[in-house]
Chains A and B, each alone.
Chain A
Amino acid sequence: MLFFTLIKHRFLEAFRSKILSKNLAIMLVMAFLFIYFSSVFISLGFFLGDILRGIYPDNPILTSFFTVIVYYYLAEILLRYFLMDIPAVKFQRYILHPFKRKSLVNSVLLSSVFDAFYLFPLMIFTPFIYQYDLDNKWMIWVTLLIMSTGNHFFALYLKKKGGSSPFIGIILLLITAAIIYLDSIKIIPITPNIAEYLTRATEEPLLYLVTLCYPVLAYLVSFLWMYNHAYLDEISIKKSNNDRLTTNLSFGKKYGKIGQLMELETRLILRNKRTKQPLFISFVFLLYGLIFYTNDTYSEQQWILVFAAIFVTSMFAMQHLQFTWSLESSYFDHLITNPISFSEYMEAKFRLIAAYCGGLTLLSLGYAFLDPALAYHHIFAYIFAMGTLVPMYFFFSTFNSKRIDLGKGASFNFQGQSGHHYLAIIPVLAGPCILFWLISLVSSELIAWISLGMIGVIGISLRKLFFKAIGKRLEKRKYIMSTGFKEN
């Protein structure tokens, strides 16, 4: 049967993917990440009861549980919308074979159902449900699956329908924000009402039947859309290219050759999925401080704050620069046969990244409202990162010899990664913390912060020397890299 064939192909694709089968290190890292996140989620599930009692002391525990669930699934639509793969691409492989279009669409849609998004909520919520003595436990469990399935098809539909514009994402965000707002001012409490309804449903399981409408409707709309657009040109998402931002760049006129490379870098970052995602994520990391700085245990140990400050201000630099040259893999041959020097190329990258992270640092100065000291923490951490970590990452990137497909998303994408990326994290992130700790031992913490800034300034002023040295190394490595980038 077609459906099972497609499921089989999905498994084969996953297990035979080149990155997985070739690279043991990545397998291990993935396994580690999986175990790590699972244990986090499962333990969260065990403590969920206590947490809920803390947040909603007045509500019955089950109602607050359902409130969380509704919020979770609202967030899940967003997550799915931004991260999920669409099966449309896979559709093309089968479209020429003699299957009935209806059964093909059905099979493609159905076989796309089970993915990682199903796993994590079950990890959180299952231990919670089994801690409590409830009737109809299995019904709650089924509801979770139903909600996930509904979200799956709904996100799929939205993604196909609105793939060409970022508006759908923004509208989704606005709707979510609106619901949270309406809940909080208690005029139209949408979520609590749903939660109460679901609580009642635990006693009368028939009420759960209503929730079935959601996945069925969502499936129908995505089925109809896909059935009516089952042509190669309509099913794949074609983005219109005319973004004014990247077409009208004028760095070239202002800064000459390096400016021209900055234009190229800007277009590289903004026109490719792989590079665009970390850019958005860097905005999310701006909020990382909210978790970190509001936790009192950390403020005792300032060396951890070094880590946080670098993370908030300069994460993008590291995420982006560690893949230097791999991101350029599809035109590396152009770079090495034209009069473009590696050191100028790195200088262009440096200027652009420094400007962007500088902007993030300015935004992050808002943390000064929490603690005025955070303002200078962030500034010094930023200068330190630009002066030392950026050249270090450029150095590590000379080891890159794996290609990266710019068209694929960055999340859960291990393409282009090798062991050295993981090894590089240790000195780069632990280094500044240790340095800070050592300096603060012999002097004060303030002096340690200032020293980090000073080291950064020295690094920034010497950067062209570093870039030249790294460029020389690249001249020797370029043959291996060029060959490596052509292998899959």
Chain B
Amino acid sequence: MENIINALNIKKQYGDQTALNIESLTVKNGEIFGLAGNNGAGKTTLFSCLLDLIRPTTGEISIKDKPVNKNSEWKKITGSYLDENFLIDFLTPMEYLKFVAGSHDVNSNDIPQMLEPFKNFMGEELLNSKKYIRDLSTGNKVRVGITGAMFWSPELLVLDEPFAHLDPSSQIKLKNLLKEYNEKTGAAILVSSHDLRHVTDLCSRIVLLHEGLINKDIKTSTNTLQELEEYFSVG
């Protein structure tokens, strides 16, 4: 299997503080990759470097062997939702999804069909809501953001804390949605979460970050949840 992400010697420093220091990290095609770690461990920093939102002090990240900061081809195959800064909040949910579709050259006639698998997760009411995104609750914003990141079938999906702010049934729906999506399209999915149970349920591989360093790189098995819980109860 080929690697979709290659990161080499990624280091991000703020003054004397090292926020991220990763010698080497690869993500394979079709992998569901989980990122766990306490606050300040560098999860969001890693995702931001991957999406070329911040510039690493040293090193380079490539998506499909093309460095993200030199070539923007990756934008066409990468769907992402890190936080509310990815939403255009004066649009209605549908207007937003149509805008995303347009950016990715999706024919507007295909949109209803592409949204079909997301109807259960988004809910018909939210999908056709006339409210602007800025007037939605945090949970609904997250749903719009995640749907916007994946309904146009990206090959790589990056989600930061997707389970936070969602109600319990939406969390379970999202978990199933991501699994199905991965099986159907073979896309690689990167997820960070504080919810150890969700991460172990969902991901085939989990990386633990601690103070910017890769602490553990685990292939998920039946013991993983216990292993993680032990790790975090100490730390």
Listed in ascending order, the chain A residues whose CB lies under 8 Å from chain B are: 241-242, 247, 252-253, 257, 260, 263-264, 267-268, 271-272, 330-334, 336-340, 406-407, 479, 482-483, 485-486
The minimal Cβ–Cβ distance linking A23 to chain B, given in whole angstroms, is 23
Name the prevailing secondary structure of the A interface residues: helix
Q: Are B53 and A333 in contact (CB under 8 A)?
A: yes
B100 within 8 A of A: yes
Q: Are B89 and A339 in contact (CB under 8 A)?
A: no
Residues of chain B contacted by A330 (CB below 8 angstroms): 84-85, 88-89
CB < 8 Å: which of A242, A268, A271, A337 contacts B78? A337
CB < 8 Å: which of A268, A334, A336, A407 contacts B52? A336
Listed in ascending order, the chain B residues whose CB lies under 8 Å from chain A are: 51-55, 72, 75-76, 78, 80, 82-92, 95, 98-100, 102-105, 108, 130-132, 134-135
CB < 8 Å: which of B52, B53, B76, B135 contacts A339? B76
C-alpha gap A373/B187 in the complex (Å)? 65
CB < 8 Å: which of A247, A272, A338 contacts B104? A338
Residues of chain B contacted by A336 (CB below 8 angstroms): 52-53
Q: Are A337 and B90 in contact (CB under 8 A)?
A: no
CB < 8 Å: which of A241, A263, A337, A486 contacts B130? A241
Residues of chain B contacted by A242 (CB below 8 angstroms): 130
Q: Are A332 and B75 in contact (CB under 8 A)?
A: no
Q: Are B85 and A241 in contact (CB under 8 A)?
A: no
Which of A253, A333, A340, A406 has the most B CB atoms < 10 Å from its CB? A333
The minimal Cβ–Cβ distance linking A335 to chain B, given in whole angstroms, is 9
Q: Are B85 and A486 in contact (CB under 8 A)?
A: yes
Residues of chain B contacted by A407 (CB below 8 angstroms): 134
> Can you show 9 pairs from A to B with CB atoms below 8 A apart?
A241-B131, A253-B108, A260-B102, A272-B90, A330-B84, A336-B52, A340-B103, A479-B54, A482-B53
Residues of chain B contacted by A340 (CB below 8 angstroms): 103
Residues of chain B contacted by A263 (CB below 8 angstroms): 99
Q: Are A331 and B99 in contact (CB under 8 A)?
A: no
Q: Provided the pairs A252-B102, A331-B88, A334-B86 are in contact, do residues A339 and B130 lie with their beta carbons within 8 angstroms?
A: no
Q: Are B75 and A337 in contact (CB under 8 A)?
A: yes
C-alpha gap A263/B102 in the complex (Å)? 11
The minimal Cβ–Cβ distance linking B160 to chain A, given in whole angstroms, is 11
C-alpha gap A263/B101 in the complex (Å)? 14
